[in-house]
Structure 1
């Protein structure tokens, strides 16, 4: 009876669909995009409690290239360009107007670094992955309300989860989250049209991005995969 039961278990296991793998030597090329747009009605105490519309926009572009050093594990290089904008305006306001109030904040980020990505397949067509990376980044900030700008430089480390659907062996459609990150930045503030000495500040920050606004859509190509 025991032999029959064990034989049946092995037979049923042999009929389960085999999970796909990505073999060593496969080359990875991927890119992802992110865009978010939000508007809220806000009251700014710094502007004598004026009420207006606060608009937040963010765009991100992340290209990557990697090589699978072993099965399902890739290492490689990645870069990032992101632009974030915040606008606050009251009635009849806008750039160049004299009625109402218009404030603007811009943050531009450029970064590049190394990453490692490991895949865990859930079947033939779907896989989860975790990506660990370290980047060097440069940030540029501009604040119209204070007529100043600043530059930041430093290291950025992150751990992000993702999901890949494979319509074919060589193409993957990705859905990734920003995940958890840590950065240590040194910022130099420069007041526009002023001879004042630059202020230098070093900050360390932990960030967590697991919401809908932290989703990135991407596509990846697996060159040389069978």
Structure 2
């Protein structure tokens, strides 16, 4: 009888510990980090891509399994293409290497809301909604051409289904996949005569190609 009682108490304590991370009054802090690099060659052309992003966040559980918080993210990308082009010089043609490089910096800030659903003792599913405003800068550099720079302001919203694994009761490793996103941006080149350009987009579909990995600490 004592053995059975001890087992029941242990199971109850385990279940409480599994749920305690997402109880009302708890907090989470952490973020995500992504890095991508690629090199490709086609004929006389070479393509190089580098990108990384970091996104710290803080959330507070207003009720069981429901958290609201704030996201801040920074993204940097650099894409370079180099190819050989015949150029006329003094009546003859020579091979000239042309390089096109684009650098982009973007900073976003905005609120989020997420809701957890228990799967097992250590696994939880959650859906997260994000809304943010972003400020970006793009530099285009081409061989023998004056560089150009544009600045942009964007409004974004997205829904991301994710899974959280709790190796301990205070640490969660998260894996998310894009499902639905919307953006509305306005950009303008840093030239007095330049006009503003506007872009708007909506995307729906499970994105397994570009997952988001993050770690959060629950306390």
- TM-score under structure 2 length normalisation: 0.79
Offset at 1:182?
A: 0.8
- Name the SS of the counterpart of 2:78 in structure 1: strand
Q: Deviations over 1:136-185 (max 9, x none)?
A: 10111111136211111131111112111101111111122244211111
Paired residues of 1:23 and 1:70 also in contact (CA < 8 A):
yes
Q: Which residue of 2 aligns with 1:170?
A: 170
Offset at 1:82?
A: 0.3
Structure 1 residue ranges without an equivalent (≥5): 1-13, 44-50, 92-97
Structure 1 position 77 matched with structure 2 position 73: no
Q: Which residue of 2 aligns with 1:94?
A: none
Q: Deviations over 1:18-59 (max 9, x none)?
A: 59422100011021100111223347xxxxxxx311122210
Aligned residue among 35, 54, 70 for 2:47: 54
More strand by share: 2
Q: Which residue of 2 aligns with 1:101?
A: 98
Q: Which residue of 1 aligns with 2:129?
A: 132
Structure 1 position 120 matched with structure 2 position 108: no
Structure 1 residues 117 and 37: alpha-carbon distance in aligned structure 2, compared to 1, 3 A threshold: same
Paired residues of 1:79 and 1:112 also in contact (CA < 8 A):
yes
Q: Deviations over 1:71-113 (max 9, x none)?
A: 111001111000111111236xxxxxx9512110111110100
Q: Which residue of 1 aligns with 2:200?
A: 204
- Name the SS of the counterpart of 2:196 in structure 1: strand
Structure 1 position 154 matched with structure 2 position 157: no
RMSD across aligned C-alpha pairs, in angstroms? 2.4
Structure 1 residues 179 and 85: alpha-carbon distance in aligned structure 2, compared to 1, 3 A threshold: farther
Q: Deviations over 1:183-211 (max 9, x none)?
A: 111111125xxxx5122112111246713
Distance 1:211 1:54 in 2: 24
Distance 1:152 1:164 in 2: 34
Aligned residues: 191
